[in-house]
Amino acid sequence: MIKFFLQEFEKSPNPIFTKKELLSISPEDFQGLTRRKILAWCRPSNSDMERVRLPRCQHGCALTVVEIDGGLEAICLNHPEEDPIPLDNDDLSRYAFSVDKFLMQLCAANRIEGDFHRINGGDFYVGYKVYNSNRVGFVFIPNVGDDKLVKLSGLKHLCKDDNILFVLTPASKTEDVVLKGQLRHEKIVQISLVESLNFHTFELPIEKLVSGLLKPEAITELTRKQNADYEKFGYQCYDKVQIPGAIPMKRSNLMEVNGHQIKIADTIFILLLRFVLELKKKKGGWVNRHTLEYEDIVSDAEGFQVYSRLRTRLEGSLLERDGQRFIESDGSKNYRISTHPDFVTYNKKKLLKHPDERVRGIAEKLR
């Protein structure tokens, strides 16, 4: 039914439907969309002439509803010689598609954040998503033609904070190859909802669409809070680390870095875990190397080899293959893991059973 609504909405910005018409498409969808208030019951004021989409007179005219002898009839004002058609309440056009509610459901299903608002006539700024340092904005326009698409670049000045702009249209899309190329150059992509939307879940294949504009390593979705943390603390990477805490074999520890399983020796594993502890405090994650020596995490505060070994062991699995960015130094004897705290997970219960006392000591302090 959503597909039907989108197609009709593109033809007319305020289509009204009868209950009988909608039930014939899908009784289940009718109930579900009414419950979500995407389909809203409405009734014209007493001063308005109520019209019905169906049935129509034999000349194709829309019919006007009149009340006669306590009953309802549909008549053609253009052809009064045509016989009136008896109606019941389910024949009346009293259900409207609420594009506002529909777009809000779209936002919720796709975790689109930001200020949903009308920007131009019937156009809406839907919100945005953040992938690494790239903000992707979403705009909905009810109908589209090549002449309007040419003007889409003007939307960029209304969406100055967005690096990429997805323009959502109900059904149609431009087939002009040159125009599509021009828009893509400006990082504007038009998406037909009829073609792309999952009508059951309201989900869009956003990451697939983004992948054509960003490098694969640049597609890490951030929440508003995570994006704010990147701006506040200056994390350089978007790598994801999982520490399962399995009891090591031959003094090596299993880890997953961006889905790649690696083994890491006890000596540098302890250093990594100490960085994790500091990172999870959510205050930037910096640890001074003299603190590391005092805590017996490293043997020499002036030595650099242990940090180099840790970087080398990890960098083959890092998104940018850059160990110095991931194990970051500020040039003032401080080091940290330079990714968001939410991207580092661990199994504390298993770490508490680790044979190395220093690992157990750090694990006890983890939340």
Q: What is the pLDDT of residues 74-104, one digit of tens each?
A: 888 888 888 887 877 677 767 888 999 999 9
Report pLDDT for 161. Answer: 87
Top-confidence residue, 214 or 281:
281
Q: How confident is the model at residue 250 (pLDDT cuts 50, 70, 90)?
A: confident
Report pLDDT for 120. Answer: 75
Answer whether 109's CB lies under 8 Å from 122's CB: no
Q: How confident is the model at residue 273 (pLDDT cuts 50, 70, 90)?
A: very high
Q: How confident is the model at residue 62 (pLDDT cuts 50, 70, 90)?
A: confident
Report pLDDT for 96. Answer: 87
Report pLDDT for 258. Answer: 94
Instruction: Give the pLDDT mean for 137-144.
Output: 86
Is the pLDDT confidence value at 47 over 60?
Answer: no
| Best CA proximity match to 274, nearest among 356, 175, 155, 185 | 356
As a whole-number percent, the residues of the chain with pLDDT over 70 amount to 94
Q: How confident is the model at residue 352 (pLDDT cuts 50, 70, 90)?
A: very high
Report the DSSP pairing between strands 117-120 and 93-97.
unpaired
Top-confidence residue, 2 or 46:
2
Report pLDDT for 12. Answer: 78
Is the pLDDT confidence value at 332 over 60?
Answer: yes
Domains and CATH numbers, the chain: 2-97 (no CATH), 100-222 (3.40.1350), 233-365 (1.10.10)
Q: Among the ranges 116-120, 135-139, 149-153, 186-190, which has the highest mean pLDDT value?
A: 135-139
Top-confidence residue, 175 or 366:
366
Top-confidence residue, 37 or 177:
37
Q: How confident is the model at residue 148 (pLDDT cuts 50, 70, 90)?
A: low
Report pLDDT for 81. Answer: 81
Place of tokens 């959510």: 282
- Tell me what the pLDDT averaged over the chain comes to: 87
Answer whether 104's CB lies under 8 Å from 116's CB: yes
Q: Going by C-beta distance under 8 Å and a sequence separation of 6 or more, which residues neighbour residue 283?
A: none
Is the pLDDT confidence value at 25 over 60?
Answer: yes
Look at the pTM and tell me if it is higher than 0.85: no
Other CB atoms within 10 Å distance of the CB of residue 263: 14
Query: Would the CA dihedral through 297, 303, 305, 307 be positive or negative?
Result: positive
Q: Going by C-beta distance under 8 Å and a sequence separation of 6 or more, which residues neighbour residue 360?
A: 351, 352, 353, 354
Q: Going by C-beta distance under 8 Å and a sequence separation of 6 or more, which residues neighbour residue 115?
A: 125, 127
Top-confidence residue, 186 or 272:
272
Q: Give backbone dihedrals phi and psi of 84, rounded to 5 degrees, phi first.
A: -65, 155
Is the pLDDT confidence value at 27 over 70?
Answer: yes
Is the pLDDT confidence value at 115 over 60?
Answer: yes
CA 180: distance to chain centroid?
A: 23
H helical segments located in 87-218: 99-110, 146-150, 177-185, 193-196, 206-211
Is the pLDDT confidence value at 283 over 80?
Answer: yes
DSSP symbols for 68-115: ETTEEEEE-SS-TTSPPEEE-GGGSEEEEE-HHHHHHHHHHHHT-BS-
Q: Return d(Cα 116, Cα 88) in angstroms, integer.
A: 39
For residue 188, what are the β-bridge partners?
165
Q: What is the DSSP letter of 249?
A: B
Report pLDDT for 64. Answer: 78
